[in-house]
Amino acid sequence: MNVVRIAEEIKKLHDEVPAGVRLVAVSKFHPVPALREAYDAGQRLFGESRVQELLEKIPQLPSDIQWHFIGHLQTNKVRSLIGRTALIESVDSERLLELIDRESERAGVITRVLMQVHVAREETKFGFYPEELQQYFTDRKFESLKATHICGVMGMASNTDDMERVRRDFRNIYSIFRAIRDNESLGLRGFDIVSMGMSGDWKIAVEEGSDLIRIGTRIFGSREY
Ligand SMILES: *Cc1c(COP(=O)(O)O)cnc(C)c1O
């Protein structure tokens, strides 16, 4: 880890990213001193993808950090995550959402979440298919949630060098978001976050309407899994 680089990248990104777009520093697989470096450079929003790793990092870092969970969340890990996040960005099934809601109610907290939408070409990515997500809202299933606030959507573009394809994916995610947000009959409140864009494609994502970008490699270097 090169700590000078981390601080520099954070500062550069804070300059480059347009006003109104928030930056999540994706720190998964990176050690606490690397996160500390980003923190000292002014970063307060961090993203982690594994519950165990997140729970280990939280007590070792300042308490004004806002943690976003961005990975696939296994149902048996939900209880330990509830109350620890500013936002769970990766709700990828109704079953998971219902469980988050039940555990949040039990813990006496409101959990903020994004619905992960699957538009990318890869077979393996998690998330709701666009039609499924639309259906969830048109069926008004969100009305049964007691302790969960759906704040918007998160999505990833196809993992490809074809930047036109990437742009189409982001456009697609944004139009799904907009259709739900602008459907006044749903009466949604605070449904206003579109999380899209990573190290290699965040500029395109912002052009296509993202207001929350998730950057790992560019800040912290490559991950050793
Ligand atoms: C790892 C990860 C990122 C960060 O990707 P980089 O290419 O390293 O910037 C962003 N979003 C999600 C959901 C991730 O899992």
CA 163, CA 205: separation in Å to the nearest integer?
11
Tens digit of each residue's pLDDT (9 = 90 or more) over 12-53: 999 999 999 999 999 999 999 999 999 999 999 999 999 999
CA-nearest residue for atom 7, ligand 1, is 199
* pLDDT of res. 3: 65
For ligand 1, the distance from its centroid to the CA atom of residue 1, given in whole angstroms, is 18
Tens digit of each residue's pLDDT (9 = 90 or more) over 115-128: 999 998 776 679 99
**Pocket of ligand 1 contains residue 112 by CB under 6 Å:** no
**Pocket of ligand 1 contains residue 215 by CB under 6 Å:** yes
Residue whose entry in the numeric block shows the structure tokens 């704040």: 151
Angle at 53 between CA 133 and CA 55, to 5 degrees: 90
CA 175, CA 192: separation in Å to the nearest integer?
13
pTM above 0.95, yes or no: yes
Helix (H, G, I), strand (E, B) or coil at 164: helix
* Pocket perturbation via mutation, ligand 1, pick of 26, 89, 161 by most ligand atoms within 8 A of CB: 26
* pLDDT of res. 16: 97
Q: Is 169 left (phi over 0), alpha (psi -120 to 50) or beta?
A: alpha
For ligand 1, the distance from its centroid to the CA atom of residue 200, given in whole angstroms, is 10
* pLDDT of res. 121: 78
> Concatenated DSSP letters for 71-106?
SPPPGGGHHHHTTS-SEEEEE--HHHHHHHHHHHHH
pLDDT tens series, the chain, 225 aa: 566 799 999 999 999 999 999 999 999 999 999 999 999 999 999 999 999 999 999 999 999 999 999 999 999 999 999 999 999 999 999 999 999 999 999 999 999 999 999 998 776 679 999 999 999 999 999 999 999 999 999 999 999 999 999 999 999 999 999 999 999 999 999 999 999 999 999 999 999 999 999 999 999 999 877
Distance from CA of residue 54 to its chain's centroid? 14
> Cβ neighbours of residue 151 under 8 Å, at least 6 residues apart?
87, 112, 113, 114, 190, 191, 192, 193
Q: Closest Cα to residue 153, out of 221, 64, 90?
A: 90
